[in-house]
Chains A and B, each alone.
Chain A
Amino acid sequence: MPVQLHAKLIKKEQLKPDIFKFSMSAREIVDIAKPGQFIEIRVTEGIDPFLRRPISIYNMDKENGILEIIFRVQGRGTEILSRKKEEDLIDIVGPLGYGTFKLEEYKNIAILGGGIGVFPLYELAKNASKKITVNTYLGFRNKEAVLLEDEFKEVSNKLVITTDDGSYKVHGFAINELKKDLKENKIDAIFACGPLPLLKAAQNLAKETNIPCQISLEEKMGCGLGVCLGCAVEVVTGGYEHVCKQGPVFDSNKVII
Chain B
Amino acid sequence: MNTEVNFAGIKMKNPVTVASGTFGYGREYSQFFDLSKLGGIITKGTSLKPRDGNKPSRIYETPSGMLNSIGLQNPGVEYFITHDLPWLKTQNVAIIVNACGSTIEDYVELCKILNKTDIDGVELNLSCPNVKAGCLAFGTTYEGVKEVTSKVRKVLDKPLIVKLTPNVTDITLPAKGAEDAGADAVSLINTLLGMSININTRKPYLANNTGGLSGPCVKPVAVRMVYQVSQAVNIPVLGMGGIINGDDAIEFMLAGASAISIGAGNFIDPYTSVNTVKGIEEYMKKHNIENINDIVGKVEMN
Which A residues have a C-beta under 8 Å from some C-beta of B?
Answer: 1-4, 42, 47-52, 91, 93, 219-234, 238-240
Contact = CB atoms under 8 A, between A and B. Distances in A.
A91 B271 CA distance: 12
B261 interface: no
Given A4-B269, A227-B28, A230-B68, A48 B63 contact: yes
Contacts of A2: 31-32
28 contacts: A1-B31, A2-B32, A4-B32, A47-B216, A48-B63, A50-B63, A50-B268, A51-B268, A52-B267, A93-B270, A220-B57, A220-B59, A220-B60, A222-B59, A222-B68, A223-B22, A225-B24, A226-B24, A228-B21, A229-B44, A229-B70, A230-B58, A231-B56, A231-B59, A232-B55, A232-B73, A234-B55, A240-B53
B contact face: mostly helix, strand, loop, or mixed: loop
A230 B266 CA distance: 14
Interface in B62-106: 62-66, 68, 70, 73
Contacts of A234: 55-56
Given A47-B215, A50-B66, A232-B73, 6 more contacts: A3-B32, A47-B268, A51-B267, A220-B59, A222-B267, A229-B70
A239 B53 CA distance: 8
Interface string B265-295: 0111111000000000000000000000000
B44, B58, B68, most chain A CB atoms within 10 A: B58
Which 9 pairs show the lowest CB-CB distances between chains A and B? A230-B59, A227-B24, A239-B52, A225-B28, A232-B56, A223-B267, A47-B64, A48-B64, A47-B216
B244 A47 contact: yes
A50 B61 contact: yes
B23 interface: yes
Interface residues of B, number: 37
Contacts of A227: 22-24, 28-29, 266-267
B148 to A, nearest CB: 25
B269 to A, nearest CB: 7
Given A4-B270, A47-B215, A51-B268, A229 B73 contact: yes
B247 to A, nearest CB: 13
